[in-house]
Structure 1
Amino acid sequence: MFKKFRILLLLLVLATVGLGAWRANARLTAWEHTVHVAIYPVAADDSPTTARFVSELNAEQFAEIAQWLQSESDRYGRSVLQPVGLNLAPAIAAKPPLPPSHGSTLDIMLWSLKLRWWAAQNDKISGPKPQVRLYVLFHDPERGNVLPHSTGLSKGQVGIIHAFAHRLQRRQNNVVIAHELLHTFGATDKYDLATQQPIYPQGYAEPERQPRLPQQLTEIMGGRRPIDENHAEIPAGLAATLIGPETAQEIGLQRSTR
């Protein structure tokens, strides 16, 4: 009996949180007012290189994300004076709860609630109250060249992003941040999780291109630029990416034609 009551209570909490998330997402995807986004740097390891890199970060290093989103919203005719206002918060020492590697649906829902609770406790920033909070965990590339999977949640408008603590990776880091930011707006991945290959046609920046391969640009939610049927490469920066029509529909930039 107690177990059933606990499950019912959890479902009520999830329903309340879900309604709030739906309302928040509707405001984000209306493209009528500036969406305030905060980036919280976190040193993911104890490397002096990472600590130094995080301490030297400034807002200008992330400005191209807002500029890119401005140009993409303009391209879809949904111009807002400033679609996204990016603000860099002071670095925080606390590390967010990471998603379960092989958890059940219930485990993932519980983790999502824990993450949103954690984010609410680590939200110290001056300026406008953020509608989207992105926690960027920086890793020393000398300690490994493979990063954990990043996550962006549209329910709660929070992202956990893994990036390299190296100035030469700044532009690619911004691609990852922009990708996860759009997840918080409701965009879905458009690549095969097993192969990392973009899915045709929605994961292609230029699906009508002839010949189709290689593509010249990257669809931001496709993640990589298709070279051939079995290979794709990470874009060098946001200038080599765009928001495709299906992603634009998901985040409200373009009305559905269905």
Structure 2
Amino acid sequence: MTSELRPRTAVVNAPLWGGRARDWADIQEGQCRSVYVAAFDRLRLSPGCEHLDAGCGAGMAAQLSAGRGASVRGLDASPNLLAIAQERVPSAAFLLGELEALPYADHTFDLVTGFNSFQYAGNPGIALSEAKRVAKPGGQVLIVTWGTPEGMEAASLIRVLGPLMPPPPPGAPGPFALSDEPALRAFAIGAGLEPLEVFDVPSPWHYADLSTALRGLLSSGVAARAAAHSGEDAVNAAHSRVLEPYRQPDGSYTIGASYRCLTARA
């Protein structure tokens, strides 16, 4: 791992994912709550588990884990998100850092989770290898990514940002690159993990009104990148067009979304 790589993820992602930290915490992060719950149920998370949430965001997953009696630590690139995580889980230890250079000793954790985080690292393969390094031998590593885009309503909200983004680097993977099960299993194997079970969790997005939806959607790092390139008005207009078919009679919005989870053994 080069010294140039180490600061890249945090330098790039911190302002993108932390610029609207409260909107992320209050609106968008909760859209994945059912994924956290289903994953912890599947993993049989129990009291005393040493759990690292890598790319912990505003700490909702850490909060749910701590509520089950786990000893939780979290790492993220955004100071703004980490401040909210610490508010939510005062007993947990949260650190600012790089997914590609986790500041923990080898074989520390019973469980390492990456809820939509590893794929956003500057080098996802190194990030997942680091997760494997800090997991205890035989410990569990969880990778969560987007579900398959075919038939997923939320995929349209992701795709609409494509034309508003700066050109990606040559060969850069798309947002659904790991949604393919063989690719996801190969990703785990490449990091030295033993892939076990793949399961999908539906987690529809709900917004009370259009204003709330636009605030939540704009709080993601991907939308922030699009807004920096094409302008916030363009992003809101694109999101508004795609949202319109999902408007309910009461003015709320419900959009189908699903996530793919892989459990692996370190």
TM-score norm. by structure 1 comes to 0.25
Structure of higher CA gyration radius: 1
Q: Which has the higher strand share?
A: 2
Q: Which has the higher helix share?
A: 2
The higher relative CO (CA closer than 8 Å, separation ≥ 6) is in 2
